[in-house]
Structures are given as structure tokens and as C-alpha cells.
Structure 1
Amino acid sequence: MNTQAHLNDALTDTSPLVYVVDDDASVREAIAGLLASVGVAVEPYASAVSLLHRLKTLESESAQLPNCLIVDVRMPGVGGLELQQVLTTSGVRVPIIFVTGHGDVEMTVQAMKAGARDFLSKPFRDQHLIDAVRSALMHDRADREAMHMQRDLRSRYESLTVREQKVFSLVARGLMNKQIASELNLSEITVKVHRRQLMTKMKAKSFAELVKMEERIQTSR
């Protein structure tokens, strides 16, 4: 399978977008040209500050949000590791590939512990960067899908009435209809009705799936 086919496997419904942050214009242009050759759009930035200003203008669901960042570690003002910290603190979730001509073991460890996807030393081989971008795009797609599923699950849960939410919680704890009826001072028939409504509103295909949904909802709180 060629590189383009590999990258296509990592794409979402829209073409991927990579932000490149490097104070060296020749590096930005080289990376942009390389990624363009395999169908990846690039937005270049000369500093971390200019990138942060750009991100502030975007909505959380904007198609212009990056699927991956390629960031130089050492830049005037705000460096790559500082940028990573700012993004993490701000809740911006995007895979980061660090590139540097001054890398060392301590710096690499720090970046990877903070969640970096990869760390490449300049000069790097074109294929190494392409492979790193492909991996980052696949990670980003999986992460976005997971976030979408969690938002959808939360939306279903919020469609439940207060009583249905209480029944949901007790059902997930393994209580029988008779026990739930006693706990909530309801008839067993009413509890059965609520259970059917729960299955329908939550789009659960089985009791086991319903329990897993409740666990995911509690974990996300």
C-alpha cells in the first residue's frame, strides 16, 4: 500500500489539517510541501503565540481546528514544550509531533510524558515525518469519535426524566424491579414501563449495554 493510501486510512470525512509551528520559514515551507504531496493541508505559524491567537478565533467544532500539530521545540519566546503545557491546561486535545535540532533525552521524556505523539530530530527523513503524521491522524480520528460518542450518550441521558434517571441508576446497580419499586415507592408495573423507556431512549440493545452506558456517564462526570 502506498503512502497516500496509508494516509487515506487515517482521514476523517474531511481532509486532514496540520498546523506547523516553527520560527524557520524554510522548515515550514519544506514540511508544507511534503505533506501537500500526500494530500494533507497545512497552516504554517512562525511562533507559538500566533498559533494560540489563531486557536482563540475558532469554535470548538470548527473544521479549521487542526488534526495534528508539528511543533519546533526551541523557538523565541514561547517554546514548544511551553506551548504543549498551555494547550493541555486550556483543554485543547490535539496530537503533537515535536521536531528539534537540539533534542536530548530529558526533553524527549518530558514531551512524551506530557502526551506528545512523537519526537523527531532535525534533519529527519521525509518518510519518518509522514509516518508520524499518519499515526497522529489515526489517533486524532479515534479521539474525536470517542468524544462524539460521549456527547451523544450524554444527550440521551439528559433526555430522561428525573425519575427515569433514578431508575437507570438503580437498574445499573443490579436491583430487581421489586427492589426498585420499593426504593422509589412505585409499583412494579411502573418500574417495568420506565425500564422499557430507558432502553428506548438510551438506544440500548441489552441490559449489559445499558449498564456500560451508566458506567461511562458516571466516569465522565
Structure 2
Amino acid sequence: MSDSASTVLVIDDDPDLRASVGRLLRSLGINVQLFASISDFLASDLPDGPTCLVLDIRLPGQSGLDLQRELAAAKREIPIIFVTGHGDIPMSVQAMKRGAIEFLTKPFRDQDLLDAIQLGLSRDSARRETDKDLAALRERFGSLSPREREIVVQVARGRLSKQIAHDIGIAEATVKVHRSRAMHKMQAGSLPELGRMADRLKLVPYAPQRS
């Protein structure tokens, strides 16, 4: 499956609901995978492209909330839309606090489900793009020489070229050469942009200022 293809995963033990949601999504050209249980879902391979999960709260064995916790613990970031025929306020609050997109009570309107799915797929697509950009940034940083990396970190700390030169015992002109090469390899158009890249890579640990 290509990265651009979106898929909706549906976990519900009600075969009629699964079939209904499956028909609805396929009629709109949306890829869908249907599961009767969490164990069936966990035994499957996740799609490569943007994904969201339509998940029943009450299921045999594990509950939907249990799966939400399990996915979070495993750092598997899948937007979740909860559906239930037995929803209550505490359950809804718990699900939303943990990052659920929506909490729909059966019977729900098709449009409400589709709106939630569109939001979930959009969020997952944006997250994947961010992750892709960060991976490329890490790769560019990895291409730097040890000295270039050292100077990037010092620049990110706000050190001037003459201060860096004094700290590591080389000429200021040499610092500027290394810095220029590092900026070229990192594809940074300016020092502030290089600093933002360093922030994204968390090269400089945050230290709260003392009052």
C-alpha cells in the first residue's frame, strides 16, 4: 500500500455495524479493515499510510479503553474514534482525556462518523509528515563530522564564533568554516533556522532559568 492511501480500521463485535460501516466507507472510496475483536486487530499488520481507528468501548475480553492504553504505552499513535451503545459521561471523559478524536453513542449519524474519521485521518497524515521531516533532519545531522556537530550544538546554545573558538581551542575563522559546512549539510538558510533545527533535534537540553 502506498504512503498516500488512507485506511480506517474498525473493531466492533456487532457484525451488522461492521458491515454497515464497511459499506459506507467503501462507497466513498475509503479503504477499510474490519475486525470482530481486539485480538484479531493485534494479530494484523497496520497499514503504511494515514490511519484511524473506529473502536467499540465494550468488547469481549479487552475493552476499547484497554486497547487505547496499550497503544499509548507502545507509542503507536493511531487516532481513535470510540463508539458505544452503553456510553456514560465518565467513560467519555476518560477516553477524550487520553486523546480520542470523538466519542459517538450508537446509533450515530453517518455524517458524524465521517466527520470524525476525516479529522482522524488528517491528524495522522500530519503526524506522519512531521515524523518524516524529523527523520530526514536526523539523517542530515548524522552526516556532519564530529567537529561540525559540536559547533552546531554550541551555536544552538547561543555561543558566538569567537567564544566557540576559545572554548575548543581553534581559530575563529576555522569555526566559521565548520559552521558554514554544517549549515550547508543541514540545509539551513540562516543561523536562526539552524537553531530551530537544533531545537527539533533536542540537541540542547532545556534548563529552566533560576529566579
Fold conserved between structures, TM > 0.5: yes
Within 5 Å, give how 1:17-96 maps onto structure 2: 17-55=7-45, 63=48, 67-96=51-80
- Report if aligned partners of 1:19, 1:66 keep a CA contact under 8 Å in 2: no
Question: Which residue number corresponds to residue 14 of structure 1?
Answer: 4
Equivalent in the alignment of 1:206: 190
Structure 1: which 4+ aligned runs deviate by more than 6 Å?
Answer: none
Q: How far is the alpha carbon of 1:15 from its aligned partner?
A: 2.5
Please report how far the alpha carbon of residue 34 of structure 1 lies from its aligned counterpart in structure 2 after TM superposition: 0.7
CA offset at residue 217 of structure 1? Answer: 0.7
Question: For 1:129, what is the secondary structure of its paired residue?
Answer: helix
Shift of 1:14: 2.4
**1:22, 1:47 within 8 Å by CA — same for their partners in 2?**
yes
For the 8 Å contact 2:13–2:59, the answer to whether it is kept is yes
Structure 1 segments unaligned to the other structure (5+ residues): 1-11
Alpha carbons of structure 1 residues 17 and 155: separation in structure 2 relative to 1, 3 Å: same
Query: In structure 2, how many angstroms separate the alpha carbons of the residues matched to 1:74 and 1:80?
Result: 6
Structure-1 residue corresponding to 2:87: 103
What number of residue pairs does the alignment pair up? 204
Q: 2:139 aligns with which of 124, 132, 155?
A: 155
- Percent identity reads 46
Q: Which amino acid aligns with 1:33?
A: R
**Distance change in 2, residues 1:160/1:15 (3 Å):** same
Letter aligned with residue 142 of structure 1: A
1:115 to partner: Cα distance? 1.1
2: distance between equivalents of 1:180 and 1:141? 40
Give the TM-score normalised by the residue count of structure 2.
0.92
Q: Are residues 1:144 and 2:134 paired? A: no
* Cα distance in structure 2, aligned partners of 1:89 and 1:220: 26
TM-score, normalised by the number of residues in structure 1? 0.88
Give ranges in structure 2 of 5+ residues lacking alignment: 206-211
- Distance between the aligned counterparts of 1:127 and 1:21, measured in 2? 19
Rounded Cα–Cα distance in structure 2 between residues aligned with 1:176 and 1:203: 20
RMSD: 1.7
